[in-house]
Amino acid sequence: VATACYSAAKRVGGVFLSFQWDSLLVEASVLCLPGILAPASWLVCQGLVDLSLQWLLFRLMFGSGVVKLCSGDGAWRDLTALKHHFQTQPLPTPLAASMHELPLVLLRAGCLFAI
């Protein structure tokens, strides 16, 4: 029920609810349903839920890396994308200004970790 309501709200929200994490929320909630609906004694269901969530996390991380490298933006290839990211992210936080001032070697390490 919650997933259906959220999906409906997402459709109505349009561009305001079209971030990557919005789709991820819907997919993760659907993947958790067998573990929620099955009796507690069904460990097989919990194992399947764990496996499916691990697969979802792998797809998210791998897909994010592929998109970054295939985007044609040289900033990801030369590991300088984070020099601009903290100033241009869609939902900045006060910590973003401090992160923007980090030494280039740390920003490059962050890019490598993100890929």
Tell me: the pLDDT tens digits for 31-55? 887 777 777 667 677 788 888 889 9
Q: What is the full DSSP assignment across 1-49?
A: -HHHHHHHHHHHHGGGG-SHHHHHHHHHHHHHHHHHHS-TT-HHHHHHH
Q: How confident is the model at residue 106 (pLDDT cuts 50, 70, 90)?
A: very high
pLDDT of residue 41: 67
pLDDT of residue 103: 92
Tell me: the pLDDT tens digits for 55-99? 989 988 888 888 888 888 888 888 888 888 877 877 777 888 888
Q: What amino acid is encoded at 55 in this protein?
A: W
pTM of the model: 0.63
